[in-house]
């Protein structure tokens, strides 16, 4: 009997009603939260970009040094 309930298809109107009821439960961020989060993401992007630039530069120098020995 549990297998029959799993295989039961949801009708389109019922699906739309479920989607609408779930959408009403969503807590949307305020404008201030969105701006604050966007600024944080931008700052982290810059910090990580600089970090990976440094790591890449170190590896580049290391590889050039090792190739100069050969």
Instruction: Summarize pLDDT for 13-70 with one digit per residue, the tens.
Output: 999 999 999 999 999 999 999 999 999 999 999 999 999 999 999 999 999 999 999 7
Compute the distance between CA of residue 25 and CA of residue 18 in angstroms, rounded to an integer.
11
Q: 53 is written with which tokens? A: 């630039």
DSSP letter assigned to residue 1: -
Length of the chain: 70
Q: Which domain holds residue 67?
A: 31-70
The reported pTM is 0.61
Compute the distance between CA of residue 49 and CA of residue 51 in angstroms, rounded to an integer.
5
Compute the distance between CA of residue 30 and CA of residue 47 in angstroms, rounded to an integer.
26
Residue 15 inside a domain? The answer is: no
Q: Would the pLDDT of 6 be above 70?
A: no
Residue 22 inside a domain? The answer is: no
Residue 42 inside a domain? The answer is: yes
User: Could you give the number of structural domains in the chain?
Assistant: 1
């Amino acid at each position: 009997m549990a297998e029959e309930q799993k295989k039961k298809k949801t009708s389109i109107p019922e699906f739309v009603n479920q989607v609408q009821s779930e959408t009403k439960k969503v807590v949307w961020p305020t404008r201030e939260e969105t701006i604050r989060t966007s600024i944080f993401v931008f700052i982290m992007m810059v910090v990580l970009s600089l970090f990976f630039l440094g790591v890449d530069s170190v590896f580049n120098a290391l590889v050039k040094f090792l190739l100069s020995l050969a």
